[in-house]
Amino acid sequence: MATAAAGDAAPAGGGKKKLVIIVVAVLVLALVGVAALLLLKKKPAEDEDGEAAAPAAHQAEVKPGTPPVFVPLEPFTVNLADKDVDRFAQIGITLEVADAKFAEQLKLYMPAIRSNVLMVLSHKTSVELLTLEGKEQLARDIMRESLRPMGIEIDDEDDEDTTKKKRKKKRNVVSPISNVLFSSFIVQ
């Protein structure tokens, strides 16, 4: 009888060992799977400085043959920074963007974008806005400030000294806003 009891006890102990081995094997496989997933997960491409490149959404390019996407902003009416005379400007702005997906994303940030554009406009004088160079600079400023709420920083091409310093530290980002268009431009 003692041998029969010992024979019954051995398989029960072996069953527990098998269960423990199976649980440990499943845990090891799960850990290996998680580690493989983390290692195989796409890493952003790095530039020569070792910094991660901007996400693809920030580098979207217009495909040939596709119509452009426009995002019109409500007209802006602001007091200008002229000291001797009270002057104001009423300016209609439309942004040309890379694709409809980015246009929808841009609309989510519209309150911050409008605020930034208003700040830029209110610091301009009528003399600056009436010249062609002033309008071109305003368009560059609006483009820069429209992207800033989304965390996209682009270089200002006119400031050569700071641009050279920034290029050493920062990568060159392609703007998803391809053009700033003025639909109306009144300075009084």
Residue 43 inside a domain? The answer is no
Our count of domains for the chain comes to 1
Contact in structure between 69 and 103 (CB atoms under 8 Å): yes
Bridge partners (DSSP) of residue 45 are: none
Q: What is the pLDDT along the chain (188 residues), one digit of tens a residue?
A: 555 544 455 555 667 888 888 888 888 777 777 766 666 664 444 444 444 444 333 334 556 778 889 999 999 999 999 999 999 999 999 999 988 999 999 999 999 999 999 999 999 999 999 999 999 999 999 999 999 999 888 876 544 444 444 444 555 678 899 999 999 999 99
Core vs surface per residue 49-62: b (16+ CB within 10 A) or e: eeeeebeeebebee
**Considering the domain boundaries, does residue 99 fall inside one?**
yes
Alpha-carbon span 83 to 141, nearest angstrom: 22
CATH of the domain at 139: 3.30.479
149 located within any domain: yes
Please indicate, yes or no, if residue 22 is contained in any of the structural domains.
no
Angle at Cα 20 formed by Cα 17 and Cα 21, nearest 5°?
85
* Residue 160 maps to a domain: yes
Q: Does this model's pTM top 0.85?
A: no
